[in-house]
Structure 1
Amino acid sequence: FIDGSTYVVRPNSVITVRNNAAAEGGGRTNVRVAVARGQINVRTEQSSNDTTNVVETRLTESRLSGQTASSFGVGEDNTEDIRVSVGQIETSTRGGEKTTVASGEYISINQSGNIKSREKLLEVPLPAAPRNLEKIPAGAGGATNIALRWQRPASGTTAHYRVEVATSPFFVAAGKVIERDQLAATVFNAGDVRPGNYFWRVRAVAASGQISEWSEPQKFVVVALGSGEQLTITEVTFEYVGGNIYIVRGVSQPGTTVSIAGRETLSDSNGAFQLQITAPKGTRELTAEAADAQGNRDSHRIPFTPDTAQR
């Protein structure tokens, strides 16, 4: 926004930007956003003191100071909540209450516009395993069991956890494959997971009913057992682009996923592939990984000679 603040709109949310402008002469700035449904996260680290930053809902109006990180949620049942992890905000409710919500605090607002509860903020539990982008081999029966693990929230007291696994990072209803609630432990064993791409997330719930935000989605891939075919990577060439950036070209089997230096691409119908990489100064060897849809995987070491790269 014009004042340097950052707004992150969560999926299935409805917001309206009512104002995002500076006064004549480039002085004081005004930002006003209305939330009708869902949740937004707001950060004002880059905002100056010469700014008015307001988030309004049906039940509240909140003025944010600089150096603040907060979120505003409007539920389907018309209740609301406000979380402040850094800084503070000044909130007025439709019920006539005015309050300051400080760092590490959470308040909930009932349907009448009155503050229902105020308590210590329940932080987000942090996923521990599987690691993001981890690839997990399927078992002999074509599926596998996966232990989802997470850490307890850094603050707040948890009564239980909720876990979701989906085929979409947006966790749309049609893509959810696992939903589990009332989990007391910090681990959940997902059984009979078939080959494919999956995303998982976890949130904590306090005895008071306060619910933490969801953790950031973590992706894992269940790969099928290979057919035994060896995947090759040949005819590798490098083209210098500039700085430490190069274009790598080569040939593998058609439809093979090739990964080099943290970048990934798919070979075409002729087996040719091309991708852009960053090779730090002093690099003399690169590892290229090849994988196909049948679960076959091979790793190749490729000599890297930047002095002979095409320019």
Structure 2
Amino acid sequence: MNAGGTSVWARKPPRDSGRGSPRRRGAGAGPSTLQRRRRERQPSSPRRRCEAPPASGEQSPENQRSCGTFPAVRPAVAEPSPEADRSDGSRRDVNKPSSSSRRDYRDWYSISVAAMRRWLVLGALLVFAGVAFLVLRQWQKYDLQMRAVRAVEQGEQLIEEIEEREDSALLRADNLAAWENLDKARQALIDGDYALALDRGSASVRQLQGILQKGEGSIRFMTVAGNVEYRRGERGAWKRAREVSVLDPGDWVKTGSDGTAEILLGDGSTYTVRPNTMILLGGDKATERGGGEGVSTVVEFGLVDLSTAARASRVATPQAQARVSRDSQASIFYDRDAQRARFALFKGEEIEVRSTDGEVQTIGPLQQVEQVADRLGPTKALPAPPQLLNPVDDQEVDLDAVQRLTLAWQPAPRAARYHLRVSENRLFASNVIEDRNRRKTSATLGLRREGSFYWQVAGIGSNGEHGPWSEPRAFRVAALSSVGLVADDVPPPLEVEEIQTYGSLVIVKGRTEPGARVRVDDEQALVGLDGAFDKTIQIKREGWATVEIVATDAAGNETRKRGRVHIEGF
């Protein structure tokens, strides 16, 4: 280009696209951080124009940068001095760390090993606590679920018993809430709401048990020990008896070789069904088989001890019928194979026995009559019940100090020998000792283990007449020597769990200190090894009455509790 007669050439500098060398960065990448910092540090200067080279052909470095021409060999770069110029003319030390380096250094922290260990232990404890909490919650949920399942199952069993009754439809219509609660419990169990299922299931069980137990004239099991079964009517299936089971007229009850059951009738009478016995409870079938109206029980075979209350009871065998007066204790036995029967009155006014051919025999207290086929024999006197002497009731025996215990009783009138039995069950369903030919009025027992035991004696006449049993007594065998003798002035605990009334009968159940004695209205109750007790008493007056329960421990400390009951239909 010519300007004013002077020839000047210029080379356009390459445009800075910011992409840098493609060998160093990828295509399209912007300037690096280092390049930007270098540009910021360089002082701004006006752009120089590219001038023509001189005749010598050598260009200054500034002209070379402007024109974009560089020598073939790159000059060496001088080392920076410890002190370099800043853009503002001040001096700085290049060996001193910059502020950005100091900031990077402050971002790091040091932690001691002890502190690290403490944090690790704390973390482990937190993890353990969390796991334990989860396990506890799972166990609580499982326990709640199992309790809810048991409540629903028990409710279903009670409904099955109610549906077997003739008036089941009427009972359901009158007590619809019990069925509704059970349905809610089932649905809550399906939904996983176990708390609601347990609440509704328990409410249903309480209502259903009340339905089965309420109403005058109901029949129920009071106590069941060993193999005891019952059947609804003539064609029902045999079921295992439970203490909550309610019976209807026309039901059958049978016991095995180790089974005994106490049955409470609606009029307050109590029947004790002994081993290997089967009976039919009232109803039209009992009237038909007993040969008369008002028959309460038919003894098909076996032995039944009965205690009547405010009304007389009619008990029959396949070949005779007996009317037992009120407030009496009696025993009726029938051998089906030999067709032999025995009717005995231990306490009360009389028993009137009538055979199927019309023969009548009346017996008084401590008398019995036997029947062979259709013929009644003469009355026979029975031995009186023996009076027990030693040990006293509820005596505690130290097994470490005493290995033998002597049982003694007074001689009974008209007794030629004695029948002694010792059992761990107050109903004597299965006996530890059974001696039917005891000639002496004492017996020595060898003590080998701890436990609570019951014993009683009956006299047997010279012709084999079996008299009534004595009142049972209990003794407890325990290892007491290892327990120090400490002055005891603390009353025993006494918990009354249940008081039920059936006519004039009152059943009291509860729990006290093991080894303590319990009396209910001055009547001795039998206390188990675990402290559980139950007692049936009779109150011979209508209206409200107070029942007093007294627990006495070995040191003589007493705990008293009272309860009010209402007696109806005496």
Distance, in Å, in 2 between the alignment partners of 1:135 and 1:203 is 24
1:150 corresponds to which residue? 409
1:60 corresponds to which residue? 320
Q: AA paired with 2:269?
A: T
1:91 corresponds to which residue? 353
Determine which of 365, 368, 379 is the counterpart of 1:106: 368
Determine which of 227, 248, 272 is the counterpart of 1:9: 272
1:171 corresponds to which residue? 428
Shift of 1:152: 2.9
Kindly indicate whether structure 1 or structure 2 has the higher relative contact order, using CA contacts under 8 Å at least 6 residues apart: 1
Unaligned runs of 5+ in 1: 21-28, 239-255, 268-277, 281-285, 290-298, 303-311
Q: The residue matched to 1:219 in structure 2 has which SS?
A: strand
Counting aligned pairs with the same residue, the percent is 19
Shift of 1:75: 4.3
Please show how residues 1-311 of structure 1 align to structure 2 within 5 Å.
4=267, 6-12=269-275, 13-19=277-283, 30=294, 32-36=296-300, 37-44=302-309, 46-47=310-311, 53-66=313-326, 68-75=328-335, 78-84=339-345, 85-94=347-356, 96-110=358-372, 112-140=373-401, 144-153=403-412, 155=413, 157-173=414-430, 176-229=431-484
Distance, in Å, in 1 between the alignment partners of 2:319 and 2:518 is 47
Shift of 1:221: 0.8
Q: The residue matched to 1:213 in structure 2 has which SS?
A: strand
Kindly indicate whether the alpha-carbon contact (under 8 Å) linking 1:159 and 1:204 is maintained by their aligned counterparts in 2. yes
1:295 corresponds to which residue? none
Shift of 1:61: 0.8
TM normalised by structure 1 equals: 0.62
Higher helix share: 2
Shift of 1:211: 0.6
Summarize the Cα distance change of 1:227–1:200 in structure 2 as closer, same or farther, 3 Å threshold.
same
Distance, in Å, in 2 between the alignment partners of 1:183 and 1:65 is 33
Deviation sequence 1:55-85 (CA, Å, 0-9, x none) = 1112211234445543322247553211223
Shift of 1:223: 1.7
Q: AA paired with 1:101?
A: I
Q: AA paired with 2:308?
A: R
Q: AA paired with 2:433?
A: I
Summarize the Cα distance change of 1:133–1:15 in structure 2 as closer, same or farther, 3 Å threshold.
same
Q: The residue matched to 1:212 in structure 2 has which SS?
A: strand
Summarize the Cα distance change of 1:192–1:279 in structure 2 as closer, same or farther, 3 Å threshold.
closer
Q: AA paired with 1:109?
A: Q
Q: AA paired with 2:406?
A: A
Distance, in Å, in 2 between the alignment partners of 1:133 and 1:59 is 43
Shift of 1:4: 4.0
Deviation sequence 1:107-152 (CA, Å, 0-9, x none) = 1222x23224421132222322212211011244xx5111111223
Summarize the Cα distance change of 1:193–1:59 in structure 2 as closer, same or farther, 3 Å threshold.
farther
Kindly indicate whether the alpha-carbon contact (under 8 Å) linking 1:39 and 1:74 is maintained by their aligned counterparts in 2. no
Distance, in Å, in 1 between the alignment partners of 2:316 and 2:450 is 45
Q: AA paired with 2:405?
A: I
Unaligned runs of 5+ in 2: 1-215, 218-265, 285-292, 494-511, 520-526, 532-547, 559-570
Work out which of the two has the higher radius of gyration on C-alpha atoms and give 1 or 2. Answer: 2
